Structure 1
Amino acid sequence: MEPAQKERTPFADIDGLPASMSAMLLDALTEMGRHPEIRRVRRVAFEALSPQPGQRLLDAGSGEGEVARHLAVETQPAGEVVALDHSASITAAAVSRHDGSAVRYVTGDVCAMDLPADGFDGVWCERVLQHVDSAEQAIGELIRVTRPGGRICLIDTDWSSLAFDGMPSGLGEVVMAHVRGHFTPKQHDMGRTLRRRLVANGLTGITATPVTCLFTSPESAAVVLPMVNPRVPEESWATPPGLRDEWLACVDAAGASGTFLAVLTIWVVAGTVPG
């Protein structure tokens, strides 16, 4: 995750958190990557990026490295993946999980990468731009390090699409008003802005695919949506006293009755660097 944040989400400065909190966030990233809906988003993104044998790829904001290792399989033989993340602790965790594939793990800032120009055949950047202070600067860096004719694939969330059913709508609106910019970044509409950002930067062959994630139980939703996760410590909530417990009680009741529903759209947008 990246350093300059629009708002101080829990991912703003993982290395500055207590060790127990950093470990919890790493576990959350790992669990999220295993979720069927996130895997569905990633399948769309793999098709959009279309990694090929022999390519050199960058995973910008690589987390614990699962995607980078998957990309490395697709680039063999003779290919390589550079997995870049701002967090030293998350990078160390990625190294500890390395499976021997052709992945090189580095720390760095996606807005100012210490990487040569035109050095990659393709770039993957998943759910990072919603957190950075300047998405334009970050996209400029991703384009800079990609060779002409290379492919850039951006995956990001449109948090403004988040909707619930089965709980009192008024209560949900109040809760979201408090947690926006805390559990979710201020740049809540990043996903749907990706296409115009690539158009503005002159990329060609642009594809844009909205993937609506569906969660029909609180347990499934809690993996991706912190505002329905009772394991998130109470001190991490930005709600007035009592509101968290009231909301989670309604979530539990909706789960018990089978009426719980949550939807969230994640966008997959890809384009080719001109030249």
Structure 2
Amino acid sequence: MEPAQLDRTPFADLDRMPPDMLAMLVAALEAMSRHPEIRRVRDIAWQALRPEPGQRLLDAGCGAGDMARELAAAVAPGGEVVALDYSAATLAEARARHAGGAIRYVTGDVGALDFEDGSFDGVWCERVLQHVDDADAAISELARVTRTGGRICLLDTDWASLAFDGVDGTLAGTVLGHLHGRLTPRQRDMGRTLRRRLLDRGLTDVRATPVTCFFPDPASAAVVLPMVNHDVPEESWMTPAGVRDEWLAQVDTAGARGDFLAVLTIWVATGTV
């Protein structure tokens, strides 16, 4: 079966990436997982999912496995986490970081899950749906494999909410325009659509929380926002000649003045099957 993945984002098919690029992206995922603003988003999602000992949970799109490890600790004793990712290379990184706990690592497509109906007590799916071709089909699959009364927790970005201050507005508009031009409307707005998608799939007790992440300096922003990160290769920008260097120079100058600001909304949406 053809994977329900898009070729337009770096995370769509990690197995086709050169090893050095894969290592950079895995390192970026790990840095993001430690960022205080991402931790704040995850704390809100954690309270919504409410993992408990003895549960069987699915981490759909587990990346390097940091959340799978936390979930495994929460469902012990007697529970299990299935850490699923489309990328075999990413799963290998997750296995290498395994530090105990009942975690089963599985390659798979969130749009066509190879699990029986109602086989999980809950699902965690973080910043995955913006990278798949059919988010509704994926959510339907997540609901199918969750038992009646189980919870689904979705976290995703609203890239259209990204804004900056302290830098030239016209130049910021150019950078954001190229970002938005490379993303489909679904990718730009995924976070804000999660509530509707859960309702459309028939889930109940649906709740959605917008979490505005605040980055007061370029170093903090660069962990989460690639367009502020000097280490992102120039060929990844796809902007007119000179735009990258001029933009990053402005970001650095604003950081030195102390008036740089970036904000981005990530949504947490949960529902009961």
Q: Which of the five TM-score ranges fits, normalised by the shorter chain?
A: over 0.9
Q: What is the aligned partner in structure 1 of residue 10 from structure 2?
A: 10
1:3 Cα shift? 4.8
1:113 Cα shift? 1.1
**Which has the larger displacement, 12-21 or 177-186?**
177-186
Q: Which amino acid aligns with 1:238?
A: M
* Same amino acid, percent of matched pairs: 67
1:122 Cα shift? 0.2
Q: What is the aligned partner in structure 1 of residue 211 from structure 2?
A: 211
SS at match of 2:241: coil
Q: Is the 8 A contact 1:7 1:182 kept in 2?
A: no
Q: Which amino acid aligns with 2:75?
A: T
Q: What is the aligned partner in structure 1 of residue 83 from structure 2?
A: 83
Q: Which amino acid aligns with 2:10?
A: P
1:141 and 2:129 correspond: no
Alpha-carbon separation, structure 2, partners of 1:187 and 1:27: 23
Alpha-carbon separation, structure 2, partners of 1:183 and 1:41: 23
SS at match of 1:110: coil
Given the superposition, is the C-alpha separation of residues 31 and 140 from structure 1 closer, same or farther in structure 2, using an over 3 Å criterion?
Answer: same
Q: What is the aligned partner in structure 2 of residue 175 from structure 1?
A: 175
Q: Number of residue pairs matched?
A: 272
Alpha-carbon separation, structure 1, partners of 2:176 and 2:161: 12
Q: What is the aligned partner in structure 1 of residue 114 from structure 2?
A: 114
Q: What is the aligned partner in structure 2 of residue 264 from structure 1?
A: 264
Give every structure 1 segment of 4 or more consecutive aligned residues whose post-TM-superposition deviation is greater than 3 Å. 2-7, 181-186
Q: What is the aligned partner in structure 2 of residue 193 from structure 1?
A: 193
Q: What is the aligned partner in structure 1 of residue 160 from structure 2?
A: 160
Alpha-carbon separation, structure 1, partners of 2:183 and 2:192: 19
Alpha-carbon separation, structure 1, partners of 2:247 and 2:185: 20
Given the superposition, is the C-alpha separation of residues 13 and 251 from structure 1 closer, same or farther in structure 2, using an over 3 Å criterion?
Answer: same
Alpha-carbon separation, structure 2, partners of 1:183 and 1:172: 17
Q: What is the aligned partner in structure 1 of residue 64 from structure 2?
A: 64
1:102 Cα shift? 0.8
Q: Is the 8 A contact 1:6 1:186 kept in 2?
A: no
TM-score normalised to the size of structure 1? 0.96
1:181 Cα shift? 5.3
1:182 Cα shift? 4.3
1:20-44 CA distance string (max 9 Å, x none) = 1011001000111010000000000
**Which has the larger displacement, 201-210 or 146-155?**
201-210
Q: Which amino acid aligns with 1:158?
A: D
SS at match of 1:92: helix
1:179 Cα shift? 2.5
Structure 2 counterparts to residues 19-98 of structure 1, below 5 A: 19-98=19-98
Q: What is the aligned partner in structure 2 of residue 129 from structure 1?
A: 129
Q: Is the 8 A contact 2:160 2:180 kept in 1?
A: no
SS at match of 1:199: helix
**Which has the larger displacement, 177-186 or 157-166?**
177-186
Alpha-carbon separation, structure 2, partners of 1:259 and 1:54: 48
Q: Which amino acid aligns with 2:263?
A: V
SS at match of 2:114: coil
TM-score normalised to the size of structure 2? 0.96
1:180-210 CA distance string (max 9 Å, x none) = 3548985211101111111111111111111
Q: Is the 8 A contact 1:183 1:227 kept in 2?
A: no
Q: What is the aligned partner in structure 2 of residue 100 from structure 1?
A: 100
Name the structure with the higher helix share: 2
Q: What is the aligned partner in structure 1 of residue 230 from structure 2?
A: 230
1:6 Cα shift? 4.5
Q: Is the 8 A contact 1:51 1:71 kept in 2?
A: yes
Alpha-carbon separation, structure 2, partners of 1:201 and 1:192: 16
SS at match of 1:163: strand
Unaligned runs of 5+ residues in structure 2 are none
1:106-147 CA distance string (max 9 Å, x none) = 111100111111100000000001111101100010001001
Alpha-carbon separation, structure 2, partners of 1:224 and 1:46: 20
**Which has the larger displacement, 5-14 or 19-28?**
5-14
